[in-house]
Structure 1
Amino acid sequence: MRTTLLAASLAALLATPALTTGALAQDVTLRLAHFAAETHPGHIAAQQFADNVKERTDGAVEVELYPANELGSPPEQLEQTVLGAIDMNLPTQGALDKYEKAFGTVMTPFAFKDYEQAHAVLDGPFMEWVAPKLEEQGLVMLSNWEYGFRNITNSKHPIETPDDVAGLKLRTPPELQIVAAVEGLGASATQIAFPELPNALNQGVVDGQENPVGVIYHFNLDDFQDNLALTRHVYNSMVHVINKDSFERLTPEQQEIVREESGKAGALMRELVAAQEEDELAKLEERGMTITRPDLAPFREKVAGSDAMKRVTEYTGEENMAKFQSFLGN
């Protein structure tokens, strides 16, 4: 049934006038699909982007938003964007590395010490390096947005040391970097689709999971988890991409507006995530969660002493990893 619905959705999208090659640049509708909840900073930023593009183009370019996986799972959305059935998407590096392995280096365990370092690297040398590679896949990279550092929750006990992670059964997305990080800390990783996660946590299929604070808060994962540890083991962000053919339908002036407003939306999301994170942590505590802020040095050391880095390097490629490490000053 899922395959049939997706096929029907693709057929309907491809049949619409906005996606035909004859669509006029001065009258374009662009579809932007993403996975964030409507209350999440990602959607708020997307709404600002849509409003500003429409205003600055005098309504000639309109952006329709499809949040919360409305047009399919994150991998399906990205695939549809590559094919041109969806015009724009906000995938993470973990989705993009299926098309270009260089993106996978961003999610190297404990690569960044803070948000400032991550932003400087991603907006500077990293983007200069990967944007041309992505165009070869039919996507134009507009800007880096935000998602955040990932943290571990569980229903068993508070986490203060790496030993507290050992033995936990944690849900992770399928990205190898995240799997390698939690397994490097001694946990076992189980892949469960995100929409099925609340039920899996409720039924005790897994002991816990890992995600940025905003995801834990906005999706009410504290309903099923008592403990949150700010392990910050992997960083990743949303990346605003547009199908290359869709981008080339725009006039040069419209393209510049889209690029500028994408950057402004990404900056807004970064501000919102930073501003809301401490507030969300306080509210999670008020709702009954025990939150720990462990010393991360032992966590980094344990992962470094495991085979996690070897696994990630083999996945991304030694040349790509060496290039990425040079951006970090390593």
Structure 2
Amino acid sequence: MSTGFKTLLLAHHTGDTSAAGRAIADFSGRVAQRSGGLLNIADMPGSTLGNIPALLRLVMDGQADMAFAPFDRLCELIPKFGFVGMPFVFDDLAHADRVLNGPFADWALPDLLQRGLHSLSSWEWGRRQISNRVRPLQQPADLAGLRIRVPPIAINLDAIQALGAMPVVVEFARLIPALRQGMVDGQENPVAIIHGYRLYEQQGYLSLLDYSYGAMLHIINRRSFEALSAEHQKILAEESRRAGQAMRLALRTEELSQIEALRTAGMRIERPDPQPFRIALQPARERLIERFGAARGGSFLAMVEHLRAAPATEDAA
């Protein structure tokens, strides 16, 4: 195991000024400080080295040491992660915390090692909302005929289709041009993305649905991690967990002020009754379970049900 000077390449898709970007900068600084400058992070943000699937391959191949793997992309390698984005599966954020930081981590994380990956901690991405430029969305029927941008992820495509809209697959890097050029009428993303990327400049209506929860793992190549000294492994894991918790807190505490800023910028903001949307999205839930396996889906839903009212646990990822 290495005890000398070491630089780890962290390639990721987030921007420098986002909540994730700020947390990553803090993580990098604290790792260098605690290691006495012996362990350093070379930060490559904004998909500099490729899109999310490309970054995952770089880490698996050892060409990059670390990345952030959204669960809805990681499920292409490890199906268990696909269930987390199931529409309306969690009652609230505290419920998601109990599941993901408890039995889910014990259930899913060992599968990473078989892919040559090690999880440092779990970070939050946020709950997905729908914005558009045409009309307010107060019930599923209001989405009929709207072209809604989705990432190239089957979970999102199925959800938007189940709501009666026309999903249009566009990579995130092309989202703003697609909105400006009228290729799509709307999109779905967490509030922090809508606010941070100024999507309100092209979108006049926002429906706060909280219909799908997003998280991502801070992953490291297994060989890269095992080559570090025990002390450096400890520093890396502790600082990743601390930064992830700080980002989670920032996302949650800043969301209300971001919503008010969006309203001030001219967006009409609705918080519809979720029940009609929950019913409309049931076929998408069923397709997700079929895609990733009924037995796995049963195990996941058992965790979800068991922890609906259980006390919170610490981040175990």
Q: TM-score, normalised by structure 1?
A: 0.90
What is the CA deviation profile of residues 243-292 of structure 1, one whole-angstrom value per residue up to 9, with x for unaligned ones?
10110111111111111111101100001001111111111111111111
Tell me if the contact between 1:181 and 1:233 (Cα under 8 Å) persists in the aligned partners.
no
| 1:99-134 deviation digits (Å, cap 9, x = unpaired) | 111110111111112111111111111111111101
Identify the residue that residue 170 of structure 1 maps to in structure 2. 148
- The equivalent position to 2:42 in structure 1, one of 44, 48, 64, is 64
Do the aligned partners of 1:105 and 1:324 also contact (CA within 8 Å) in 2? yes
Task: Give the alignment of 1:99-178 within 5 angstroms.
Answer: 99-178=77-156
Q: Which residue of 2 aligns with 1:323?
A: 299
**Maintained 8 Å contact 1:109/1:178:** no
Matched, 1:33 2:38: no
Q: 2:269 aligns with which of 277, 283, 291?
A: 291
Correspondences of 1:3-22 after superposition (within 5 Å): none
Query: 3-state DSSP class of the match of 1:95?
Result: helix
Aligned AA (1:198): I
Are residues 1:268 and 2:268 paired? no
The corresponding residue for 2:286 is 310
CA distance in 2, matches of 1:63, 1:86: 11
Aligned with residue 202 of structure 1, among 153, 177, 180: 180
What SS does structure 1 have at the residue aligned with 2:120?
A: strand
Match of 2:309 in 1: none
Question: What is residue 246 of structure 1 aligned with on the other side?
Answer: 224
Contact 2:12–2:68 (Cα < 8 Å) also in 1: yes
Structure 1: gaps of 5 or more residues: 1-22
Matched, 1:189 2:167: yes
> In structure 2, what is the Cα distance between the partners aligned to 1:25 and 1:207?
54
Read off the aligned partner of 1:174 and give its amino acid letter. Answer: P
Alignment partners' CA distance in 1, 2:73 and 2:281:
23
Distance 2:138 2:63 in 1: 46
Counterparts of 2:303 and 2:154, CA distance in 1: 22
Aligned partners of 1:33, 1:230: CA distance in 2, in Å?
31
Q: Distance in 1 between matches of 2:257 and 2:110?
A: 38
Percent sequence identity is 37
Match of residue 312 from structure 2: none
Which of 35, 43, 58 matches 2:21? 43
User: Residue in 2 aligned with 1:88?
Assistant: 66
Q: How far off its partner does 1:26 sit?
A: 2.2
| TM-aligned CA deviation for residue 225 of structure 1 | 0.8
Offset, 1:141: 0.9
Conservation of the 8 A alpha-carbon contact between 1:138 and 1:243? yes
1:7 match = none
Structure 2 stretches lacking a partner, 5+ long: 307-317
Moved over 3 A (4+): none
- What CA RMSD, in Å, does the superposition of the two structures yield over aligned residues? 1.2
1:212 aligns with 2:190: yes
Give the drift of 1:201: 0.8
Number of paired residues? 306
The one-letter amino acid paired with 1:195 is A
Preserved contact between residue 2 and residue 229 of structure 2 (Cα < 8 Å): no
**Which deviations, in whole Å up to 9, do the C-alpha atoms of 1:286-330 show, x marking residues without a partner?**
1111111111111101212xx212210121111111111011117
Structure 1 residue 185: Cα displacement: 1.0
Offset, 1:85 = 0.8
Q: Give the residue type in structure 2 aligned to 1:231.
A: L
In 2: Cα distance, 1:123 partner to 1:309 partner? 22
